[in-house]
Amino acid sequence: MPEPTLKFSVTCPDCALESISEMPIAVIANRLLTGKSLRLYSKCHDRYWTATYIEREKLRKSLAALSTDTNARQNPPLSEESQAEELTRDVRLDALVSA
Ligand SMILES: [Zn+2]
């Protein structure tokens, strides 16, 4: 089974061009959970850089949404407003990593 990956848009720090990047979900989740730096890549300038706080938050939200979709089959949908807490997202991410 291929490793599940997440496609997300990145903005090149050199030319501000948006491009699509792809990374294993486990890697992204691990970096976000451990607080380690996350390397992003932009094809247009063949450029690697460390994700900023804003970029990390964007990825965190993408993973949280993804994780919610995955859990939807097992668990009944919960109220969106009450589930918007960051802590809940981290727990879901944690489950995702160990899956
Ligand atoms: Zn560029």
Q: How far away, in angstroms, is 23 Cα from ligand 1 center?
A: 19
Q: How far away, in angstroms, is 13 Cα from ligand 1 center?
A: 7
pLDDT of residue 88: 54
pLDDT tens profile 41-97 = 999 999 999 999 999 999 999 999 987 776 655 555 555 554 445 555 555 666 666
Print the domain residue range for 14.
5-98
- Fill in the amino acid letter for 10: V
Six-digit token pair at 20?
């699509």
pLDDT of residue 93: 62
pLDDT of residue 1: 76
pLDDT of residue 2: 86
Residue 17: pLDDT band by 50, 70, 90 thresholds?
Answer: very high
Contact 41, 21 (CB under 8 A): yes
Sequence-ordered strand ranges (E) for the chain: 5-11, 18-24, 39-42, 47-50
Domain count within the chain: 1
Q: How far away, in angstroms, is 21 Cα from ligand 1 center?
A: 13
Q: How far away, in angstroms, is 82 Cα from ligand 1 center?
A: 40
Rounded Cα distance between 29 and 20, Å, is 18
pLDDT of residue 33: 95
Residue 30: pLDDT band by 50, 70, 90 thresholds?
Answer: very high
Q: How far away, in angstroms, is 9 Cα from ligand 1 center?
A: 13
